[in-house]
A and B are shown apart, each in its own frame.
Chain A
């Protein structure tokens, strides 16, 4: 594993009874990046995160986090000391107070940041004597985030960190993440099915579907490479195949044919000229377009 990578997963597979939760997932998360891990519900995001934290063992394949193979229990314990984590459901110990759970969590992390804990406690309006069970879902999410951010971690792993939050709280969480990554240089790996928030803060992204990575790369590169080419014909769109590399998806509807290209849109346009379209438009695509199209391709 290169020193430049914080997370590296190769051909990761996980089978629960007859269900393949992961079916050969590959992942490379560079150090210092804010990495969005996109996928529909049930795509394998949470299973991947559990394996990366050493909570679940892969059926096959390897996962290395911060240089250690997390399939080994002892290594996973050491790695978890260097990771801040927020789970999807944000469940904490209901019977503890905010102050108790902060002190409890701090005791496991030698690089715990009490100054940061105080700052976030004030920023999120968390009363030290409030019982966790009395906190609203939003406040509980903020407490979970505080417990992750203050560990002095090199890597933050966040499973749907904004699920269940209102827009204001979501924005606050995202801003806190970006500020933390910028200040401490930590790698942030977060899963989401909210494309807008990944678009807002991530610099790299992977889209996972049915347990496999279908797209991965720097967000700017993806935006630069992906193009949607739309051809309009004067009759029904022909059922043409393209020889050009980089054709990810072809859709036809009436007189319109739409081609999603991962690269080389010019070659596709040149090839399609022979079909006699009455108009050709090459359009940039958003992350949402890429997500929906790649996931649809997998379904087709």
Chain B
């Protein structure tokens, strides 16, 4: 029943996030015909863009990627909407828990149950990661399903590979929020700090590593898979290791808590 408790505590964040992502996936697919129409008109404008600047390079990368439908789905849906929104949702799912409950007092009731603190945190983490997996996978299945409606095709395999990469990358931010939630007794500081870290990574990593497959953001957006079909294993490994380390630290913290 700890699962049930964790589900009840996070269900609205999860359900609202799922609805949001489903709408974004639909909207991405639906907007392609208009984008495909506009892209040829934009071509002359590209000659005036400074390809040496960071912003200029980003614009050219976007236009280049979106020249095909597969590229459009990757750029618009996966590396933009899904990756970034999942990151925020992962952080929201990771916040809260035992220490935050000390403010309302329900933590004492929880701790009076015949359950170890390890089990409390592990169940909450497992529930949150399960929800994050659903958030990554279910909306990602919409492009393969909806693409025929606009006369296009998108591979289900591609959708699943990208969804799993988003999940593994998102787990890093979930674990960070979970860890911070064992340090701060409110839900806002863990969420804000984790968002700051995520924001910094999303800005700095592409500039420093240029979308290389060994960074966390690089693994999440899986540009290497989109461009060459190579799954970003190094980045996925780094992300998984970082998540495990942070969840382990969270378990250690929660065992030391004086409630």
**Which residues of A are interface residues toward B (Cβ below 8 A)?**
16, 50, 53, 55-56, 73-74, 77-78, 80-81, 83, 85, 87, 89-96, 100, 103-105, 107-109, 144
Please state if B111 and A91 are interface contacts (CB–CB under 8 Å).
no
Please state if B258 and A108 are interface contacts (CB–CB under 8 Å).
no
Q: B115: which A residues are within 8 A, CB to CB?
A: 77, 108
Interface residues of B in 1-32 (CB under 8 A from A): 1, 4-5, 8-9
- Residue with the highest number of chain B CB atoms closer than 10 Å, among A55, A81, A95, A144: A55
Please state if A91 and B114 are interface contacts (CB–CB under 8 Å).
no
Please state if B105 and A104 are interface contacts (CB–CB under 8 Å).
no
Please state if B114 and A89 are interface contacts (CB–CB under 8 Å).
no
CB of A54 to closest CB in B, whole Å: 8
Please state if B108 and A94 are interface contacts (CB–CB under 8 Å).
no
Please state if A104 and B1 are interface contacts (CB–CB under 8 Å).
yes
In the complex the two chains form, what is the Cα distance from A55 to B113 in whole Å?
Answer: 10
CB of A116 to closest CB in B, whole Å: 18
Residue from the list A85, A94, A104 in contact with B112, Cβ < 8 A: A85
Please state if A108 and B8 are interface contacts (CB–CB under 8 Å).
no
Q: Which residue of B lies closest to A107 (CB)?
A: B1
Any A CB within 8 A of the CB of B46:
no
0 or 1 for each of B67-111: is its CB under 8 Å from A? (1 = yes)? 000000000000000000000000000000000000011101101
Q: Which residue of B lies closest to A132 (CB)?
A: B106
Please state if B8 and A95 are interface contacts (CB–CB under 8 Å).
yes
Please state if B112 and A53 are interface contacts (CB–CB under 8 Å).
yes
In the complex the two chains form, what is the Cα distance from A17 to B182 in whole Å?
Answer: 19
Please state if B106 and A16 are interface contacts (CB–CB under 8 Å).
no
Q: B108: which A residues are within 8 A, CB to CB?
A: 55, 87, 89, 91
Please state if A108 and B114 are interface contacts (CB–CB under 8 Å).
yes
CB of B103 to closest CB in A, whole Å: 10
- Contacts A73-B116, A81-B114, A93-B109 known; A56 to B9 CB distance under 8 Å? no
Please state if A93 and B259 are interface contacts (CB–CB under 8 Å).
no
Q: B255: which A residues are within 8 A, CB to CB?
A: 73
In the complex the two chains form, what is the Cα distance from A74 to B116 in whole Å?
Answer: 8
Please state if B116 and A91 are interface contacts (CB–CB under 8 Å).
no
Residue from the list B1, B5, B109 in contact with A91, Cβ < 8 A: B109
Please state if B111 and A53 are interface contacts (CB–CB under 8 Å).
yes
Please state if B106 and A93 are interface contacts (CB–CB under 8 Å).
yes
Q: A92: which B residues are within 8 A, CB to CB?
A: 106, 109
Please state if B1 and A55 are interface contacts (CB–CB under 8 Å).
no
Q: B1: which A residues are within 8 A, CB to CB?
A: 103-104, 107-108
Q: A96: which B residues are within 8 A, CB to CB?
A: 8
- Contacts A53-B111, A56-B259, A95-B9 known; A89 to B116 CB distance under 8 Å? no
Please state if A91 and B259 are interface contacts (CB–CB under 8 Å).
no
In the complex the two chains form, what is the Cα distance from A83 to B111 in whole Å?
Answer: 12
Q: A95: which B residues are within 8 A, CB to CB?
A: 8-9
Q: Which residue of A lies closest to B259 (CB)?
A: A55
In the complex the two chains form, what is the Cα distance from A108 to B123 in whole Å?
Answer: 15
In the complex the two chains form, what is the Cα distance from A107 to B115 in whole Å?
Answer: 11
Q: B8: which A residues are within 8 A, CB to CB?
A: 93, 95-96, 100
In the complex the two chains form, what is the Cα distance from A287 to B178 in whole Å?
Answer: 49
Add 8 more A-B contacts to A56-B258, A78-B114 (CB < 8 A).
Answer: A55-B259, A73-B116, A87-B108, A87-B112, A89-B105, A91-B105, A104-B1, A104-B4
CB of A282 to closest CB in B, whole Å: 45
Q: B258: which A residues are within 8 A, CB to CB?
A: 16, 56
Q: A89: which B residues are within 8 A, CB to CB?
A: 105, 108
Q: Which residue of B lies closest to A91 (CB)?
A: B105
Please state if B105 and A93 are interface contacts (CB–CB under 8 Å).
no
CB of A178 to closest CB in B, whole Å: 22
Q: B9: which A residues are within 8 A, CB to CB?
A: 95
Q: A107: which B residues are within 8 A, CB to CB?
A: 1
